[in-house]
Amino acid sequence: MGLIRSGWVPAVCVALGLAGSVFAAPRLRLSSAAVGPVNTASAADAPAQMVEAYNIGDGQLALQVTSNAPWLTASAGEAVDCTLRAGLCTPLNIAFSTASLAKGRYTGLITVADPNAVDAPQTISVTVQVGGSVPDSLDFHVTPGGSQEYVIQANNLLGIIPTTDSAEKWLSLPSEGGGSFRFNFNYRVLARHLDGMAEGQYTGKLNVFNSIVNEENKQVPVTLTVTSGPILSVPEQLMPRLAVGGPAMTSLLALGNRGGGDLQASSVIASTTGGGDWLTAELANDGRAVLYTVNPAGLAPGLYNGILEIKSNASKPVQLVAVLLEVMAAESPAVAPATVLDVTTFEQGAAMAPGTLARLQGTQLSGQPKAINSGVPLPDTLSGVRVLVNGLPCALFSVAQDEILFQLPYGIEPGEALLQVERDGQLGNQVQLSIIPRAPRIELAGTGSYAKAMFDDGSLAIPASLGGRPATIGESLHIAVTGLGRTDPETATGQSPDPANRVPETVRVSFGGNLFSEGVVIDAAVAELLPGLPGHYQVKVTVPEGVTPGDNVSIIVFAGGAGSNKLQIAIQ
């Protein structure tokens, strides 16, 4: 995102009474959004940490710093010279009271707020590892020819000697622990399948010594399972944040498979520590996902722990996912600044065009259960929620307490812009966006890094082994693109006219470009909106001569001086 332009004030923002103006408001930045894991011995407080806050806007920051965990505190110090950049920074001093915590990993959030600043509040995730970072055991699961790693983040240089109980040296430590006074010492423990190793289970160990945390000096048993079957992949922890007295939130947890075969769960059990029935779950999508519900009804503000126990046909038949629920005091809607992204690439910090399809995340965005709009045109108000950019309403696809899918207004002018969520008439924080006339993004076909480039019959220009067919020289393609901006005639936000409105300027497509060559670049025959699909465009182009055939020919779309992401098609 570019810096705020001095002297530019959106008149509609002033009319709405937004806090401050674009050129006068401070704009919050943090040197880091995550701290840890910070290691400490049991019955001891973890060492203090520090994150720097600074202002890239105008005026002065007036920071308010809070924590959601009883073992975690933070305070803002006096402004001093920054350690990692020029200028002044406010140190956010982080302290721990971990002596009474049992051995294990704990995560808390620090909120850094300023009611008059743009891009505030922001959160810092803080993780502490009581009892040290060296695990009691390690359990790796890989496919034939595959590998998996685990990173040990220590406070000092360690001695680690890996050994195996078989002739194959499948366990190694490929990088030793370089570090600095600001960062942990990282040790990559790598388990990999070697040629000649049959499927099955192998054992080994890590001998760890020289740690200043005495509990880390130990022998760690290691198990490697080699399988051609499913290997379940799920996050270690889910962290929903809901308002006190607010509605329940239901989310879908996809069960990833980084192995082979067909992964299928047989059951899921939800449980909570200390009782209560705020967490429930059931299988979905024929056992390929878990649908879980978090209900804050009757819960006071605070942190609550739960577990999802998933049984499946994976190599590890029982997998646990921790659920850390934060019940928050009722507040205005808060958008997390780094989460306002286009939905095609999710590229953080990238400029967006009028009409771009986008996503934002945050807390207390809605006071009602999730609502999904059906049909066109899209509304600008859903469940009492609006998304405003420079005061102009966006079109809404869906609204939930933690996420909104929307279309940026076509009427927004290029430059720096302010986004806010309005819930039941209450405006939330301001988040700054960079708007450019056209910001093309090629849509994925859903297979690897292949573009959604289709023939007239709807089939994809991908290898036959992946369910499509390669294109030929002179053949027409329809490339699915978002972010192409305004059309002629103009299109209303949330609509997609039929017949389609066209992009009025030339759109170009590069075939076969790389680091050393721009490839073969030609003008598209036409670029237009797709009827019935707001914000989705198709770029019609003929595969040009001079392109080197292959299963991975790169394509890039150019419009308004901006280039898209680079994806691939197959050409024979």
Q: Report whether 92 contacts 61 (CB < 8 A).
A: no
Is residue 309 a part of any domain in this protein?
no
Is residue 314 a part of any domain in this protein?
no
Domain residues for 350? 334-435
Q: Are residues 427 and 467 in the same domain?
A: no
Closest to 111 (Cα-Cα) out of 331, 297, 322: 331
Number of domains in the chain: 5
Return the CATH number at 190.
2.60.40.10
Is residue 487 a part of any domain in this protein?
yes
Question: Containing H/E element for 12?
Answer: helix 11-16
Residue with tokens 């995340």: 361
Q: Are residues 445 and 566 in the same domain?
A: yes
pLDDT for the residue 184: 64
Q: How many whole angstroms separate alpha carbon 287 and alpha carbon 293? A: 17
Q: Are residues 354 and 410 in the same domain?
A: yes
Q: Report whether 354 contacts 486 (CB < 8 A).
A: yes
pLDDT for the residue 274: 78
Residue with tokens 């006339």: 437
DSSP 499: S
Q: How many whole angstroms separate alpha carbon 123 and alpha carbon 107? A: 12
Q: How many whole angstroms separate alpha carbon 141 and alpha carbon 136? A: 17
Q: Are residues 425 and 459 in the same domain?
A: no
SS (H, E, C) 248-311: CEEEEEECEECCCCCCCEEEEEEEECCCCCCEEEEEECCCCEEEEEECCCCCCCEEEEEEEEEE
Q: Are residues 35 and 69 in the same domain?
A: yes
Q: Which of 435, 460, 493 is the last residue of a domain?
A: 435
Inter-residue long-range contacts of 453-458, CB under 8 Å, 24+ positions, other chains counted: 453/477, 453/478, 453/479, 453/480, 453/555, 453/569, 454/478, 454/480
Q: Which two tokens stand for residue 83?
A: 């350690």
- Beta-sheet strand order (sheet of 185-192): 147-154, 185-192, 171-175
Q: Report whether 441 contacts 558 (CB < 8 A).
A: no
Is residue 562 a part of any domain in this protein?
yes
pLDDT for the residue 8: 30
Beta-strand runs (E) in 114-260: 122-130, 138-142, 147-154, 159-164, 171-175, 185-192, 200-209, 219-226, 232-233, 237-238, 241-243, 249-254, 256-257
Question: Containing H/E element for 11?
Answer: helix 11-16
Q: How many whole angstroms separate alpha carbon 37 and alpha carbon 19? A: 36
Q: Are residues 367 and 426 in the same domain?
A: yes
Q: Report whether 531 contacts 541 (CB < 8 A).
A: no
Closest to 547 (Cα-Cα) out of 523, 522, 518, 511: 511
Q: Is 169 helix (H, G, I), strand (E, B) or coil?
A: coil
Residue with tokens 């505030």: 120
Q: Among the residues of 5-60, which ranges form H helices? A: 11-16
Q: How many whole angstroms separate alpha carbon 159 and alpha carbon 151? A: 14
Q: Which of 175, 192, 226 is the last residue of a domain?
A: 226
DSSP 183: B
Q: How many whole angstroms separate alpha carbon 44 and alpha carbon 155? A: 14
Q: Are residues 349 and 430 in the same domain?
A: yes
pLDDT for the residue 398: 98
User: Would you give per-residue pLDDT tens digits along the chain (572 residues)?
Assistant: 233 222 333 333 333 333 334 557 999 999 999 998 999 999 999 999 999 999 999 999 999 999 999 999 999 999 999 998 999 999 999 999 999 999 999 999 999 999 999 999 999 999 999 999 999 999 999 999 999 999 999 888 999 999 999 999 999 998 655 443 344 689 999 999 999 999 999 999 999 999 999 999 999 999 999 999 999 999 999 999 999 999 999 999 999 999 999 999 999 999 999 767 999 999 999 999 999 999 999 999 999 999 999 999 999 999 999 999 999 999 999 999 999 999 999 999 999 999 999 999 999 999 999 999 988 999 999 999 999 999 999 999 999 999 999 999 999 999 999 999 999 999 999 999 999 999 999 999 988 899 999 999 999 999 999 999 999 999 999 999 999 999 999 999 999 999 999 999 999 999 998 767 778 999 999 999 999 999 999 999 999 999 999 999 999 999 999 999 999 999 99
- Beta-sheet strand order (sheet of 279-284): 249-254, 289-294, 279-284
Residues forming beta bridges with residue 324, ordered by sequence position:
305
Is residue 231 a part of any domain in this protein?
no
Q: How many whole angstroms separate alpha carbon 375 and alpha carbon 364? A: 26
Q: Are residues 466 and 558 in the same domain?
A: yes
Q: How many whole angstroms separate alpha carbon 242 and alpha carbon 330? A: 9
Q: Are residues 431 and 446 in the same domain?
A: no
Q: Which of 103, 129, 155 is the last residue of a domain?
A: 129
Q: Are residues 445 and 346 in the same domain?
A: no
Is residue 10 a part of any domain in this protein?
no
Q: Are residues 98 and 29 in the same domain?
A: yes
The verdict on whether omega for the bond into residue 121 sits within 30 degrees of 0, i.e. cis, is yes
379: left (phi over 0), alpha (psi -120 to 50) or beta: beta
Q: Are residues 250 and 365 in the same domain?
A: no
Is residue 54 a part of any domain in this protein?
yes
Q: How many whole angstroms separate alpha carbon 137 and alpha carbon 151? A: 13
Residue with tokens 């609006």: 386
Is residue 16 a part of any domain in this protein?
no
Q: Report whether 420 contacts 383 (CB < 8 A).
A: no
Q: Which two tokens stand for residue 471?
A: 């294109």
Neighbours of 562 (CB within 10 A): 19
Q: Which two tokens stand for residue 185?
A: 């010492």
